[in-house]
Structure 1
Amino acid sequence: MTSSTVTSSQPPRPQRPNIVFRRLRGQRSPGEFAAAVRRAARDIGERVSCDARYIGRVEAGEIRCPNYAYERVFLHMFPGRTLTDLGFAPRSAVRGRGSRPADEPPPEHAESRPDGPYAPTDEQDEPYESYGQYESREPYGPQAPQDTCETREARAAHECHERNHEESDVRRRAFMTGSTATVAAASLGAFGMASVSPATAAGRPVHRAGTSDAGALQEAVRRIRVLDDRHGADGLYRRAAAPLRTAYALLDAGATRQATTDRLYSGAGELAISVGWLAHDSGRFDDARSHYAEALATARMSGDPALEAHAFCNSAFLARDAGRPREAVRAAQAAQRAARPLGSARLMSLLALREAGGWAGLADRAGCERALARAQALYERGPSEADPEWMSFYGEAELEGLEAQCWSMLGDWLRAARHARRAAHLQDPHFTRNIALYTAELADDLARGGRPDEAAAAGLRVLDLLDEVQSSRIQTMLAGTARVLLPHRRASGVSAFLDRHASLPRLA
């Protein structure tokens, strides 16, 4: 590491963790607390894009004094307190900017950009953006995203979505009760470290984590993945947060052995990714982004390149689905840098596919084809002992399905349909959600490729699976297919598909 060329008349001030702010977060995970900050901001007409990593940075003492927008939000959340009561340094003590008088209210609109936490703080310190800098060696990138029409539209869509799901964070606390699964409730209910929560909530010391706790955490990750494979995300997301809270409570409690600590960090990070995926698949992109950021921060803190690669892998997929293809490319490339020393050709193959999806979103056919060729060559090297456990879903069917999505984004509908059909045919019956996903992809590609009768037949097969699968992503794809097929109602089978699709419950 090279030393800085910038000199200072004073030695750098050592960071002090913000213990007060950490205590105020209580039993909520960083991601849950970040969601509470965003809700509080909306209550007073502010706009901040707080995520788990921002909360982590505050608690680590990296942000000694928040910018004005965050100040207003925090003082609204904790009425009667000052910034110093919340563990921050007085604004007058923060270097680099003039302070305002103590009795002067914060400016009406003090942020330099609409993206709240990306604006400079009053100590000339940029709160990092969750996915802005995809350098595997640098955890916190200094550059902020540009405020383009695309990002403004995404924010507006997110705000509308969050109004519809305002109660989600409260209901996430109801641990596995209701719908998709009575099955899911029984399966996840066995994750039994609930004794950690009451003690932590009451401020009393909790037992240090042991190997059984780490094992239970890893088992919770496996169960969530199995339930998602079978049933999709919508019925699981709000309930899967309970194990995640427990996981981070265990990390706070600490462990007696370093090996156990390493397992806890790995398990908590993987669990954050799993919960993030449930949010992603059920259309809660902002929540997913926060959970993936939480996982990435955990990976960086524990020096876990496998977890880092996984977090970047999912971040790339999310960025592609959220309409940020360039970010998808950069995240996939960062994932490949992290994963290269791990020695898993299959993992590198999947990450190349994530990159291909980004290039397809950018309409860069040549870049996409190069990444697809690399993914195929790496896949053909076969499995190895270095392949991560979470990659159990990645087989030939997934390879075909992801390639189908690339050709679909490039507008080569019939080529996409060929790959989607192959994916649905090859998929293991255990992965019910993926069969529904690939078949929905097939239906949409056929509809757009001018084969309405075949599209309707595929769409009906998806509708048959929706009794078992709850996935907003799949329902959104079907809705798009239905719109394309509307002018073809007289074609064979199309009317039956449209009528049956119209009878589905509407997405919230």
Structure 2
Amino acid sequence: MASTAAVPNLAFRQLRGPRSAGEFAAAVRRAAREIGEQVACDARYIGRVESGEIRCPNYAYERVFLHMFPGLSLTDLGFSARETVRGRGARIASDPQPPAGHAAHSPPARPGRAPGPDDVPGVPDIPEESDVLRRVFMTSGTATVAAASLGFGQAHASAARVSVPAQRRVGEAEVSAVEEAVRQIRLLDDRRGADGLYRRAARPLRAAYELLDAGTTARQATSDRLHAGAGELAISVGWLAHDSGRLDDARSHYAEALATARLAGDAGLEAHAFCNTSFLARDAGRPREAVRAAEAGLRAARTLGSPRLVALLALREAGGRAGLGDRAGCDRAIGRARSAFEQGPAAGDPEWMSFFREAELELLEAQCWSALGDWSRAARHGRRATVLQDAHFTRNLALYRAQLTADLARAGRVDEAAATGHQVLDLLDRVRSSRIRRMLAGAARVLEPRAGAAEAAAFLTRHATLPGESDGPGRAGAEG
């Protein structure tokens, strides 16, 4: 089919008015939240609309735009009629439009895998949204996976650099480079935390998705590995955004990972994407979405042969139920998580779950009881987490102690809270995590009325000298 030259969308540009593309994208995201939609809109997407590259928006964007400009039709907004648009960015005319208020359908499940959860809120329409999200991470020209760019200072300057050759064929070296980039990000996050790492990690992510679009691979197994690696990289970079407080960025990255999983029919990657999406929803104050995303992850994980993955997803569900104030439901989910965890490691356990040990299970349970206001019970599990945690995971050691500090403070254990808070401060010269700093700041606010106590006063004085955050927008993020 002959291509049609893009015609600039002047009507849409006029509606943007004096706002920048980024400001207008933010307004689109706000409007989406008002009607319960989720779109990963950014300045690049607005530019694609205005240039005419996007001739008709997907159903989610359509609902948002019509909400923003009541009384106007898609044609009034400068878009083409849906039935005239063909290609990857839009559905064919025979695909019926869903009723107003309903999410657009996800692609049909492939044989042999669990169907995708079409009813999970916050999950974008996959075929269309994927095309939008992918371009956020694309660059033109030769792709470079630069693990050296992930290091702090010169510590990792010797890391390998792999360039994609001019031919449009991806092989073992390129796929291995993507997989190594994932490992490097996880290693550095374990040791240092997300702040300062997020921007550097975006470079190999762009390269990984450029590899996906670069062309063919030699073997199906190589293609499968590349999709899995790119999806895992999107989740890892999403987690860095998540932990450094960039929740909108994290949501976009997780959505792209989910899109990649569904396009590749990768149930393991899908379970991982839903696992992180659930955690993000919990931290963003959307507990019902957290529950449903965890349930979707459990459906994807049921054929993978990993009781530990089932345990983690059950804990994600428990966290959502705690946010809903559903104590009984939370307790049941924790019970299921512990039963699955006690089955032990299995061959089907994914590599990314190396952090999920008994200490993490205790920490996640502590967070559930903390959300339910049972501070003493939360502190009991928090103490276990700090005792069990491997000192190698410096960031998590600081995280666990920050959680414990807050729970002890709220439980009225002032001296113990202050002593634990000092331990967190001791680690913050090595760990850069906006989330940990915010948790500790919350504990400090709880202790302020007890500033007359010597231990509390010493902690508060030391905490007040903590340097301000140099990276991150200061919003709540999480991994625990």
Fold-level similarity (TM above 0.5)? yes
Q: Is 1:486–2:448 an aligned residue pair?
A: yes
Partner residue of 2:162 out of 177, 187, 192:
192
Residue pair 1:417, 1:442 contacting (<8 A) in 2 also: yes
**Structure 1 residues 20 and 263, CA gap change in structure 2 (3 angstroms):** farther
User: Which residue in 1 is equivalent to 2:252?
Assistant: 290
**Structure 1 residues 222 and 331, CA gap change in structure 2 (3 angstroms):** same
Q: Is 1:375–2:337 an aligned residue pair?
A: yes
- Aligned partners of 2:376, 2:150: CA distance in 1, in Å? 38
Give 1:312's aligned amino acid.
F
| Superposed CA offset, 1:112-160 (max 9, x none) | xxxxxxxxxxx95679979999x99665847977xxxxxxxxxxxxxxx
**Structure 1 residues 457 and 332, CA gap change in structure 2 (3 angstroms):** same
Give 1:442's aligned amino acid.
L
1:248 deviates by: 0.6
Residue pair 1:46, 1:73 contacting (<8 A) in 2 also: no
Give 2:388's aligned amino acid.
L
User: Which residue in 2 is equivalent to 1:48?
Assistant: 29
Residue pair 1:128, 1:142 contacting (<8 A) in 2 also: no
**Structure 1 residues 453 and 246, CA gap change in structure 2 (3 angstroms):** same
1:44 deviates by: 8.3
Residue pair 1:184, 1:227 contacting (<8 A) in 2 also: no
Unpaired runs of at least 5, structure 1: 1-15, 25-37, 56-68, 91-96, 108-122, 146-168, 200-205
- Aligned partners of 1:504, 1:301: CA distance in 2, in Å? 46
Residue pair 2:145, 2:161 contacting (<8 A) in 1 also: no
User: Which residue in 2 is equivalent to 1:354?
Assistant: 316
User: Which residue in 2 is equivalent to 1:231?
Assistant: 192
1:48 deviates by: 3.4
1:506 deviates by: 2.4
User: Which residue in 2 is equivalent to 1:242?
Assistant: 203
User: Which residue in 2 is equivalent to 1:161?
Assistant: none
User: Which residue in 2 is equivalent to 1:152?
Assistant: none
Residue pair 2:48, 2:54 contacting (<8 A) in 1 also: no
For 1:192, what is the secondary structure of its paired residue? strand
Residue pair 1:276, 1:289 contacting (<8 A) in 2 also: yes
Q: Is 1:210–2:171 an aligned residue pair?
A: yes
- Aligned partners of 2:3, 2:400: CA distance in 1, in Å? 47
1:87 deviates by: 5.3
Residue pair 1:416, 1:445 contacting (<8 A) in 2 also: yes
Give 1:88's aligned amino acid.
R
Give 1:395's aligned amino acid.
R
Residue pair 1:447, 1:485 contacting (<8 A) in 2 also: yes
Give 2:210's aligned amino acid.
A
**Structure 1 residues 317 and 73, CA gap change in structure 2 (3 angstroms):** closer
User: Which residue in 2 is equivalent to 1:181?
Assistant: 152
1:191 deviates by: 4.2
Residue pair 2:409, 2:417 contacting (<8 A) in 1 also: yes
Q: Is 1:219–2:183 an aligned residue pair?
A: no
**Structure 1 residues 317 and 250, CA gap change in structure 2 (3 angstroms):** same
Partner residue of 2:55 out of 88, 102, 105:
88
- Aligned partners of 1:407, 1:336: CA distance in 2, in Å? 22
For 1:475, what is the secondary structure of its paired residue? helix
Structure with higher RCO (Cα < 8 A, 6+ apart): 2
User: Which residue in 1 is equivalent to 2:372?
Assistant: 410
Partner residue of 1:457 out of 403, 406, 419:
419
User: Which residue in 2 is equivalent to 1:252?
Assistant: 213
Residue pair 2:360, 2:385 contacting (<8 A) in 1 also: yes
Residue pair 2:241, 2:249 contacting (<8 A) in 1 also: yes
Residue pair 1:191, 1:217 contacting (<8 A) in 2 also: no
**Structure 1 residues 74 and 366, CA gap change in structure 2 (3 angstroms):** closer
Q: Tell me the number of residue pairs that the alignment of Structure 1 and Structure 2 aligns.
A: 404
CA RMSD in angstroms, aligned pairs only: 4.1
- Aligned partners of 2:195, 2:366: CA distance in 1, in Å? 24
Residue pair 1:439, 1:462 contacting (<8 A) in 2 also: yes
**Structure 1 residues 465 and 132, CA gap change in structure 2 (3 angstroms):** farther
- Aligned partners of 1:207, 1:377: CA distance in 2, in Å? 48
Partner residue of 1:334 out of 292, 296, 300:
296
Give 1:252's aligned amino acid.
D
Residue pair 1:329, 1:358 contacting (<8 A) in 2 also: yes
Aligned-residue sequence identity (percent) comes to 57
Q: What stretches of structure 1 move > 3 A for 4+ residues in a row? A: 16-21, 43-46, 48-51, 72-79, 97-102, 104-107, 123-133, 135-145, 173-180
- Aligned partners of 1:45, 1:336: CA distance in 2, in Å? 32
**Structure 1 residues 184 and 284, CA gap change in structure 2 (3 angstroms):** farther
Residue pair 1:231, 1:470 contacting (<8 A) in 2 also: yes
Give 2:190's aligned amino acid.
D
Residue pair 1:132, 1:143 contacting (<8 A) in 2 also: no
1:434 deviates by: 0.6
- Aligned partners of 2:323, 2:239: CA distance in 1, in Å? 20
Give 2:226's aligned amino acid.
L
- Aligned partners of 1:365, 1:493: CA distance in 2, in Å? 34
**Structure 1 residues 429 and 276, CA gap change in structure 2 (3 angstroms):** same
Q: Is 1:315–2:277 an aligned residue pair?
A: yes
Give 1:239's aligned amino acid.
R
User: Which residue in 2 is equivalent to 1:120?
Assistant: none
Residue pair 2:29, 2:39 contacting (<8 A) in 1 also: no
Residue pair 2:147, 2:160 contacting (<8 A) in 1 also: no
- Aligned partners of 1:39, 1:140: CA distance in 2, in Å? 36
Give 1:228's aligned amino acid.
D
Q: TM-score of the superposition, structure 2-length normalised?
A: 0.74
User: Which residue in 1 is equivalent to 2:407?
Assistant: 445
Unpaired runs of at least 5, structure 2: 9-18, 58-65, 80-95, 123-137, 474-480
Q: Is 1:274–2:241 an aligned residue pair?
A: no
Alignment of 1:97-246 (within 5 A): 124=97, 139=116, 141=118, 181-182=152-153, 186=157, 190-193=160-163, 195=164, 206-246=167-207
